[in-house]
Amino acid sequence: MALALRCLRPLLSLLHRSSFAMTRGLPRAPAGSPALLLEGCRQCVHQMLLSRQLATKKAKGKGQSQAKVNISAALVEDIINLEETSGGMQAVIEALKEDFSRNLSVRTSPGALDHITVMTKDGKFPLNQLGQISQKSPQLMLVNMANFPESTAAAAKAIRDSGMNLNPEVDGTMIRVPVPKVTREHRESLAKLAKQSTNKSKEALRKVRSKSINQVKKFKNKVSEDTIWLLEKQIQRMADEAATEMDKLLAAKTKELLG
């Protein structure tokens, strides 16, 4: 929601540069009410004809005139759903946060194993649905597979392949998981994984951006060139803000991991 609000403001600013203030009389939502603020923005867009002064590409001299571009809210909505684009970008950010929290920690805890995916003959299941996970000591975790003994080997493999630098040992239906010592090498390895995860998330972000821009370009023969340019610029701005947030998350996680 925060990202959606931040992204709507620049678009309104770009679309709404006319010579007079049309928004002075609009009602304000109570402070601390994001949903009402967003609804207020929607009402503004729906009620106004938004204008922007854009120089035409053919105008090269200082004394040449500028073309006025009028874009209505209905036209924007017919071309692209910017809230949906914002939501897709926010989902990528949230997935990165979850990955950092779940898989990239200096101290390995039982909770870190919960959502490791185990491939069984009946399909994929989270480890915590197949075994009972506990911590016997700071250096040892246990996974009791007594309820699903046939999945013990698969569970051990999933733990080993999780990328958490764990080497499980199978003892009957019990999986012993030694917790690695927190060495400098281990910290640096986790920091590299954090960087890799961020790069993957940025790739997912680019796909969201490209999908939205391609959607806008479908209307290049139906609306003005300046309208297409304006919407593409706003989508790029949204993507840039999301990428900046990812960089901040990575910086904070790297600092945490390296100490």
pLDDT tens digit sequence for 126-174? 999 999 999 888 889 999 999 999 999 999 999 998 877 789 999 999 9
* Same domain, residue pair 118 and 168: yes
Tell which wins on pLDDT, 186 or 232.
Answer: 232
- What is the dihedral sign for C-alpha 231, 232, 237, 239? positive
* Same domain, residue pair 169 and 195: no
Distance CA 231, CA 218 (A): 12
Query: Among the listed ranges 8-17, 125-134, 143-152, 241-250, which one has the minimum average pLDDT value?
Result: 8-17
* Same domain, residue pair 98 and 153: no
187 is a domain residue: yes
Q: Give the neighbor-by-neighbor strand order of the sheet with 174-178.
A: 132-137, 140-144, 174-178, 169-171
Inter-helix orientation angle 184-217/225-258, to 10°: 170
* Same domain, residue pair 97 and 161: no
Mean pLDDT calculated for residue range 105-131: 85
202 is a domain residue: yes
* Same domain, residue pair 95 and 112: no
**pTM here?**
0.61
249 is a domain residue: yes
Number of domains in the chain: 2
Indicate the residue among 125, 151, 178 that finishes a domain. 178
* Same domain, residue pair 203 and 171: no
CATH code of the domain containing 127: 3.30.1360.40
* Same domain, residue pair 218 and 129: no
The residue type found at 7 is C
- The percent of residues in the chain predicted with pLDDT above 70, rounded, is 70
Indicate the residue among 178, 206, 231 that finishes a domain. 178
Tell which wins on pLDDT, 93 or 64.
Answer: 93
Task: Tell me the average pLDDT of the chain.
Answer: 78
Tell which wins on pLDDT, 221 or 240.
Answer: 240
**Terminal Cα-to-Cα distance of the chain (whole angstroms):** 32
pLDDT given at position 186? 80
Domain of residue 205: give its range. Answer: 73-103+183-258
198 pLDDT more than 60: yes
CATH code of the domain containing 250: 1.10.132.20
Mean pLDDT calculated for residue range 70-90: 84
4 is a domain residue: no
29 is a domain residue: no
pLDDT given at position 62? 45
147 is a domain residue: yes
Mean pLDDT calculated for residue range 104-108: 72
Tell which wins on pLDDT, 206 or 11.
Answer: 206
Nearest in space to 235 (alpha carbons), one of 81, 95, 91: 81
Residue 64's pLDDT band (boundaries 50, 70, 90)? very low
pLDDT given at position 78? 84
47 is a domain residue: no
37 is a domain residue: no
